[in-house]
Structure 1
């Protein structure tokens, strides 16, 4: 079975448990913190996958490091360590987020802009594009990209809304090369 399939199974089980306890949002926030730590700390990944470190030592380290998290989140990490599945932590978290957002009729919108957007601008974008995405709510994540020149580009799932000056210039260039108007 592929790692993604295994990650999906763990994410589904965690999703069902969090749903029963009415903790979808809290568990998602905690898992995003874990994901950030795992992705920014290669030493942690090396430690968790090192064959000479015992399972008990790894579990004790996780319990101490993430003691502020809910029991659901910590026990999931401990289970992954026990089953020697630490390599699927990030894919499992990504799948859980997808399931939790779907259950809450939400989506994540990646908004690329030339400068950081204010809260008011982000709220306006979330309200305007939630209907287009067919969701009741969007969570906006602003990514600053100085190559855009101006305007914004929004990615919601696999849909892209590109209102950047760079995109307009690229389109103009393609039209001029093709000889059309």
Structure 2
């Protein structure tokens, strides 16, 4: 969760409303799309903070960025806009994402490997490690890192599971040298 109490409150409110209305999965999908759009375009935040742009124009901009988005998410964004809290948007989306993942028993994981993983390998890693962090499954992002030589390094939150050849060689070197 973010350090912003305001962001946490907006995210919690959106999460509870989405749960109550039975649209949590759809809102979560829209939140991920919005986060990807924001990551790809840093100018959006600047536009939302421009005093020269009227609230009506800003609402239109939000609606254009999220065509077909859940009405609940759009309304939450409009409330944030009206309260002049759009600077908290990134934290709200991150907090909501964390709440939705926790509710569905999913943890985010980063796998460092020497090559892209197949779907079967991702599934095997998810089933092998999800229970170690008390989750049902892992949402895996793979990062290619040739320095590992072979094997993988898996990071789930602040836990790291390292079975790479480079780490085993480093451990062997420390053992032999003393």
Match of 2:169 in 1: 169
Match of 2:144 in 1: 144
Considering only aligned residues, what root-mean-square deviation do their CA atoms show, in Å?
Answer: 1.8
Match of 1:100 in 2: 100
Whole-Å Cα distance in 2 between the matches of residues 84 and 145 of structure 1? 42
Whole-Å Cα distance in 1 between the matches of residues 103 and 76 of structure 2? 20
> C-alpha displacement at 1:175, in angstroms?
4.1
> C-alpha displacement at 1:147, in angstroms?
3.0
> C-alpha displacement at 1:3, in angstroms?
6.6
Whole-Å Cα distance in 1 between the matches of residues 85 and 101 of structure 2? 24
Whole-Å Cα distance in 2 between the matches of residues 46 and 63 of structure 1? 17
Whole-Å Cα distance in 1 between the matches of residues 4 and 166 of structure 2? 35
Whole-Å Cα distance in 2 between the matches of residues 90 and 33 of structure 1? 12
TM-score of the superposition, structure 1-length normalised?
Answer: 0.89
> C-alpha displacement at 1:143, in angstroms?
2.0
Query: 5+ residue gaps in structure 1?
Result: none
Match of 1:113 in 2: 113
Match of 1:133 in 2: 133
TM-score of the superposition, structure 2-length normalised?
Answer: 0.90
Q: How many residues align?
A: 177
Match of 1:82 in 2: 82
Match of 1:53 in 2: 53
Contact 1:3–1:88 (CA under 8 A) maintained in structure 2: no
Whole-Å Cα distance in 2 between the matches of residues 85 and 169 of structure 1? 50
